[in-house]
């Protein structure tokens, strides 16, 4: 055991309905209630690319929580700037809940540009090429300054095809970093409690029923090796976190391998804490993972693919540059209720895209986020009305019917 007491959680998590392993819950933060299963749009540099905050808050999308990337914000504009502007929420103008990642994954994805030691990770900044160093302690400090409701432990990610020994080494390092993250986080939360400087203490618009501390989630690693995954889960849970994430998936392994890991691990994760699957995936992946017990998701797919001319629909992916849409007057998705589908045709969106108009990216991003968020809304309703298995079956059938039927 780590010797650390269980944290007094700044989140409350209440499961309100379950069907099989799928569950619907209420995750309460100081900045509002988040119904789960939930999709969190990714706001890499403090902005969800291609969409205004008003649209994210509108009843049409109603994103209750978004993600910020520690690595990107740390390098630019930098923590001193964000602190001087009153913390990340005030800086970007977003009052709802946020989660920040630890920076571990971004640094990992730099590949050859990084060097990992026991102490942390050394890497070259993608902004100006300068040498930077990130460790559990630095990540916790940066995340405390950003001030999101949920922070993530600093982890190391083994590649999907890692050998057993590589995956074990990486998992053991992640466990040592998890303990250091937790200890650093505790110290920072004590300071936060005793000196409520702007952006670090309780904001006036926050509800005060929960303690003014950040929640911290631990991350389970172990690549595709189920015994390592189980060990990682047990030992991470021993350290004690406010929630648990499955990391290191969707990094090049086959999809059936990813689902095997989720199926084995998610139901073993503490039932009274949120379970977060990091960086996954398509709407079908989300539904499949919900069926295996996952509550929270983030992914760049709806925004990134939107910018690249791809729409997610109930009948599969639609590439707007395809010539077959040149005079197609139908909306992107005939069963989508979003404002883009109400107003615009595939033909017009294709024209915008081919003309290089920025509105193409904006409209496709809007539809994709609306589609992801609405899918999760329907997932929650289905679980609450004990119709989830039927919902999943019908969703899959419609997807298989394809765009041309």
Q: Does residue 294 interact with Zn ion by CB under 5 A?
A: no
Residue from the set 367, 382, 391, 395 that interacts with Zn ion by CB under 5 A: 367
Helix 388-401 × helix 358-384 angle, to 10°:
140
Q: Does residue 55 interact with Zn ion by CB under 5 A?
A: no
Q: What three-state secondary structure class fits 373?
A: helix
Question: What are residue 349's phi and psi, to 5 degrees?
Answer: -65, -40
Query: With respect to Zn ion, which residue has the nearer C-beta, 307 or 367?
Result: 367
User: Which residues neighbour 88 within 8 Å (Cβ) at sequence distance 6 or greater?
Assistant: 46, 68, 73, 82, 94, 98, 100, 146, 147, 148, 199
- Smallest gap from Cβ 398 to Zn ion, in A, equals 15
Q: How many CB atoms lie within 10 A of CB 323?
A: 7
Q: Does residue 336 interact with Zn ion by CB under 5 A?
A: yes
Can you tell me the distance from the alpha carbon of 217 to that of 102, in angstroms, rounded to the nearest whole number?
A: 10
Catalytic residue among 101, 203, 333, 374: 101
Catalytic residue among 203, 288, 295, 298: 298
216-224, 266-274, 335-343, 380-388 -> range binding Zn ion (CB under 5 A): 335-343
User: Which residues neighbour 245 within 8 Å (Cβ) at sequence distance 6 or greater?
Assistant: 152, 217, 218, 219, 220, 275, 276, 277, 278, 296
For strands 65-68 and 38-43, give the pairing. parallel
Query: With respect to Zn ion, which residue has the nearer C-beta, 156 or 333?
Result: 333
**Binding residues for Zn ion restricted to 167-226, rule: CB under 5 A:** none
Q: Is 227 annotated in the active site?
A: no
The secondary structure of 119-183 as a DSSP string is: S-EEEE-TTT--EEEE-HHHHHHHHHHHT-SEEE-------TT--HHHHHHHHHHHHHHHHHHHH
- Smallest gap from Cβ 135 to Zn ion, in A, equals 43
Residue from the set 338, 373, 376, 382 that interacts with Zn ion by CB under 5 A: 338
- Smallest gap from Cβ 346 to Zn ion, in A, equals 11
Per-residue mark of binding to Zn ion, 1-30 (x: CB under 5 A): ------------------------------
Query: With respect to Zn ion, which residue has the nearer C-beta, 280 or 341?
Result: 341
Q: Is 101 annotated in the active site?
A: yes
Using CB under 5 A, count the residues that bind Zn ion.
5
80-88, 223-231, 285-293, 334-342 -> range binding Zn ion (CB under 5 A): 334-342
Residue from the set 251, 258, 290, 341 that interacts with Zn ion by CB under 5 A: 341
- Smallest gap from Cβ 338 to Zn ion, in A, equals 3
149-157, 294-302, 331-339, 390-398 -> range binding Zn ion (CB under 5 A): 331-339
Q: Please, are residues 169 and 163 in contact by the beta-carbon 8 Å criterion?
A: no
Tokens for 154, please give them: 């600093």
Query: With respect to Zn ion, which residue has the nearer C-beta, 146 or 336?
Result: 336
Q: Please, are residues 239 and 181 in contact by the beta-carbon 8 Å criterion?
A: no
> Would you please indicate which residues are annotated as catalytic (active-site) residues?
101, 298
| Contacts to Zn ion by CB under 5 A | 336, 338, 340-341, 367
């Amino acid at each position: 055991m780590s010797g650390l007491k269980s944290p007094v959680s700044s989140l409350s998590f209440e499961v309100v309905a379950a069907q099989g392993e799928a569950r619907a819950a209420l995750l309460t933060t100081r900045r509002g209630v988040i119904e789960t299963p939930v999709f969190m749009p990714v706001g890499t540099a403090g902005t969800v690319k291609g969409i205004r905050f008003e649209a994210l808050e509108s009843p049409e999308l109603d994103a209750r929580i978004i993600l910020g990337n520690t690595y990107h914000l740390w390098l630019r504009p930098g923590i001193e700037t964000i602190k001087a502007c009153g913390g990340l929420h005030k800086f970007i103008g977003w009052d709802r809940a946020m989660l920040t990642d630890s920076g571990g994954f971004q640094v990992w994805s730099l590949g050859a540009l990084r060097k990992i030691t026991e102490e942390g990770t050394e890497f070259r900044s993608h902004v100006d090429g300068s040498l930077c160093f990130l460790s559990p302690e630095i990540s916790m400090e940066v995340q405390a300054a950003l001030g999101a409701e949920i922070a993530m432990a600093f982890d190391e990610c083994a590649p999907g095809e890692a050998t057993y020994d590589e995956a074990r080494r990486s998992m053991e390092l992640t466990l040592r970093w998890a303990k250091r993250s937790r200890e650093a986080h505790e110290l920072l939360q004590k300071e936060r409690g005793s000196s409520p400087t702007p952006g670090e203490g309780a904001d006036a618009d926050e509800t005060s029923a929960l303690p003014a501390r950040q929640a911290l989630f631990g991350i389970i690693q172990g690549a595709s090796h189920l015994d390592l995954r189980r060990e990682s889960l047990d030992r991470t849970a021993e350290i004690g976190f406010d929630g648990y994430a499955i990391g290191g998936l969707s990094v090049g392994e086959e999809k059936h391998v990813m689902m095997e890991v989720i199926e084995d691990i998610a139901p073993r994760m503490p039932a009274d804490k949120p379970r977060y699957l990091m960086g996954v995936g398509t709407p079908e992946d989300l539904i499949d993972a919900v069926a295996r017990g996952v509550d929270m998701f983030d992914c760049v797919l709806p925004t990134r693919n939107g910018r690249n001319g791809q729409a997610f629909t109930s009948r599969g992916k639609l590439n707007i540059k395809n010539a077959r849409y040149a005079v197609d007057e139908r909306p992107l998705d005939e069963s989508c209720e979003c404002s883009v589908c109400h107003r615009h045709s595939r033909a017009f969106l294709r024209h915008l895209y081919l003309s290089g108009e920025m509105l193409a990216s904006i409209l496709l991003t809007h539809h994709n986020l609306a589609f992801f968020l609405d899918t999760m809304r329907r997932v929650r309703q289905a679980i609450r009305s004990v119709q989830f298995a039927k919902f999943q079956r019908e969703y899959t059938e419609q997807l298989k019917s394809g765009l041309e039927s």
